[in-house]
Amino acid sequence: MTHAAGWFSFRRLRIALLLGLFAFVAATHYWEQHVVRSWQQPLTIELHPVNGDASAAVGGYIGALTPAQFQEIADFVQTQASRYGIKAPAPQLLLRPEMKDLPPTPPGNKPNALEVILWSLKLRYWVYQHGSSWLPGFGVIRLFVVYHVGQPGVALDHSLGLREGLIGVVHAYARPVQDSQNNVVITHELLHTLGATDKYGAGGLPLFPEGYGDGERVPRHPQDFAEIMAGRVAVSETRAEIPADLAACVIGYKTAHEINW
């Protein structure tokens, strides 16, 4: 009886600790989202370049990066906010030193809910391990930009942004000619962390009307701008092109609503 009672007590303690942990994570997530989506304080965005190839070529590219190369991201967010009457302070972009440790690999195609949750927890713990303090930086958006030399005709791994934990993992090309397009992808994942959803469907084609830069345009095609969460300019019903830079992108009405504009 004593052994059984002790076992049940330990089991209750473990359950209580797990429930406490989940409650803490949920409360933290709610607080973070409330703060960053209030748009009363400037967004703090940490950019962590990661040497995805563990190569000298990528290391050289990362070593030459400057905050100015990412400034258009902050400018885009502030300009688009003003379109919706939001007087948001300019986001603060912080470029961190090169990292060589890769983030956990996400689950494969069609993962189940448990696999996604476990991977999300692994990623958040990985982020915590690579923080500069033992306390997590609440309200800070951390985007890990994994750079690759890349191969012609071979797509990079899928990028992602998590609202839970304000974390993004972006796969990008370590080539100066790709800098502007990299910033489009970084901004797309940044907005995911703020609650925005994808606006494209089968084959990557923008959804109408929410995935169009101007859903009221007549004639509908070709569009002049890409909705940032669609990631492509709708040229026709069956063809869309990747925007060259953020100047060719807008934040549409549905995305604006999702990020609390």
Residue 58, CA atoms < 13 Å, CB-side half-sphere? 20
**pLDDT, mean over the chain:** 89
Cα of first residue to Cα of last residue in the chain, in angstroms, is 60
From 103, 55, 25, 84, select the one nearest 255 (Cα to Cα). 84
Write out pLDDT tens, residues 142-196. Answer: 999 999 998 877 889 999 999 888 999 999 999 999 999 999 999 999 999 999 9
Q: Which helix (H) or strand (E) holds 72?
A: helix 71-83
**Which pLDDT does position 5 carry in this prediction?**
60
pLDDT at 23: 59
CA angle, 98 then 29 then 96, to 5°: 15
Closest C-alpha among 13, 93, 95 to residue 49: 95
Residues 84, 261 contacting (CB under 8 angstroms): yes
- CATH code given to domain 37-195: 3.40.390
pLDDT in tens, 90-137: 899 999 999 999 999 988 777 788 888 888 889 988 988 887 654 456
